[in-house]
Amino acid sequence: MRALSSEAIHQRILAAIMEHKLPPGTQLVEERLARIFSVSRTKVREAIGRLVHDRIATNIPNRGAFVSSPTADEAREVFFARRLIEPNLVRTVAQLATPRHIQQLRAHVAREAEARTTPGREHELITLTGDFHILLAEISGNSFLVRTLRELESLTALIILLYDAPDEQHCAHDEHPRLVDAIEARDGERAALLMHTHLEHVEHSLKLEPPESSEVDLESVFA
């Protein structure tokens, strides 16, 4: 039994965060994790460093690293960036996707549908819907965009965990399949538009209001 690499540890912690096992605010204590994975603090520190670099965790000097709690403003930034990138991305994907790619996409949305209809697999669904967008980046063949999308998806998953309205249907069930339809039809414009509205739907299904919680007007409260 070989020792886990810091990369593997990074993956394990990240997965735990995505699966809601480590909710936002949880401190990632180095020595504790080191014991758990039977490695030294050094490797754990490295893994945590990467999480911090990707904004999944936040470092407070001399205090420790904590699973990030993106503010509503940061959440809006993430969705803004996604709306900036992904519609264009899917437009080009529609042009260069091969039948093999379409097949991959179909298989993926099928897995999403399965996870959606099977009870007790909701957190899996969050990861899966994120993976759909990453898959699109992978089809584009651009490793830089893959990395960017991975980062955005991880943050989005955190945001959904924080701001999801439990009763709200945050991801209309047919938007991903319809996107694949547009891609298969080589209709880049429609795909881009669908992606744009899809991202808007996801964002608006969250309870990100009020715009600025810090802007509570003390004077008016005690008037």
| Residues binding DNA (CB under 7 A) | 3, 5-6, 27-32, 39-43, 45, 59, 61-65
Residues that bind its own copies (CB under 8 A): 46, 49-50, 53, 55, 74, 77-78, 80-81, 84-85, 88-89, 92, 142-145, 148, 152, 155
Least Å distance, CB 44 to DNA, is 8
Least Å distance, CB 4 to DNA, is 9
Among DNA, its own copies, none, the one that 144 touches (CB under a kind-dependent 5 to 8 A) is its own copies
Least Å distance, CB 222 to its own copies, is 32
CA distances from 204 to 68, 77, 197 (A): 21, 14, 10
Among DNA, its own copies, none, the one that 31 touches (CB under a kind-dependent 5 to 8 A) is DNA
- The closest of 78, 45, 76 to 148, measured between CA atoms, is 78
Residue number with CB closer to DNA (43 or 176): 43
Task: Give backbone dihedrals phi and psi of 186, rounded to 5 degrees, phi first.
Answer: 60, 25
Determine the 3-state secondary structure of 118 from DSSP: coil
Q: Which two tokens stand for residue 223?
A: 């008037």
Least Å distance, CB 96 to its own copies, is 11
Residue number with CB closer to its own copies (180 or 192): 192
Cα 47 from Cα 195, distance rounded (Å): 33
Residue number with CB closer to its own copies (24 or 125): 24
Among its own copies, DNA, none, the one that 142 touches (CB under a kind-dependent 5 to 8 A) is its own copies
Residue number with CB closer to its own copies (174 or 212): 212
DSSP string, 53-108: HTTSEEEETTTEEEE----HHHHHHHHHHHHHHHHHHHHHHHHH--HHHHHHHHHH
Among its own copies, DNA, none, the one that 40 touches (CB under a kind-dependent 5 to 8 A) is DNA
Among DNA, its own copies, none, the one that 88 touches (CB under a kind-dependent 5 to 8 A) is its own copies
CA distances from 93 to 48, 49, 151, 195 (A): 33, 33, 20, 12
- Angle, helices 188-204/72-96, rounded to nearest 10 degrees: 160
Cα 2 from Cα 87, distance rounded (Å): 43
